[in-house]
Amino acid sequence: MSKQVSETLQEMLGTLKEGRMTEGQEIYFADAVVTQEGNQPPIVGKQASIERLDKFRETIGVAAFISYAIGAVAVVGNTSFYDAVLTLKLKNGDTISLEQVVKTDWQDGKIVKERYYHG
């Protein structure tokens, strides 16, 4: 099963590296996905997760996507891990880079649980 997870993960990371974050969620998230930012309460549902991403972009004032650089990637059974750096241009002219580690649980080619660790 982990070969399927690995292949699907690589497809998804390709989408994310192009800056198509919302599209990645629409394609790869299961309808009842559970996502969680660090120790914040989990959010249930694909639409709620997409709305959280939109709110995040609006709150920090994203003007443009610059890059999503993927570091190490690991797959163990139906669970994947990767670290990444998201770089964005803000409306105020600043450029920011956000580092995170992502733990993902997969089922039938879809993400059923995803947790983001960042500082």
| Per-residue pLDDT tens digits of the chain, which is 119 residues long | 467 999 999 999 999 999 999 999 999 999 999 999 999 999 999 999 999 999 999 999 999 999 999 999 999 999 999 999 999 999 999 999 999 999 999 999 999 999 999 97
Domain count, the chain: 1
Round to whole Å and give the CA distance between 114 and 42: 9
Cβ pair 78, 105 in contact under 8 A? yes
Look up the CATH number of the domain holding residue 67. Answer: 3.10.450.50
Domain range enclosing 84? 2-118
Enumerate long-range contacts of 49-55, CB under 8 Å, 24 or more apart.
49/25, 50/22, 50/25, 50/26, 53/21, 53/22, 53/25, 54/22
- Residue 108: helix, strand or coil by DSSP? coil
pTM score, two decimals? Answer: 0.91
What local confidence, expressed as pLDDT, does residue 2 receive? 67
Instruction: Give the DSSP H or E segment for 62.
Output: strand 62-76
Cα 44 to Cα 34, 85, 88, 93: the distances in Å are: 5, 25, 26, 34
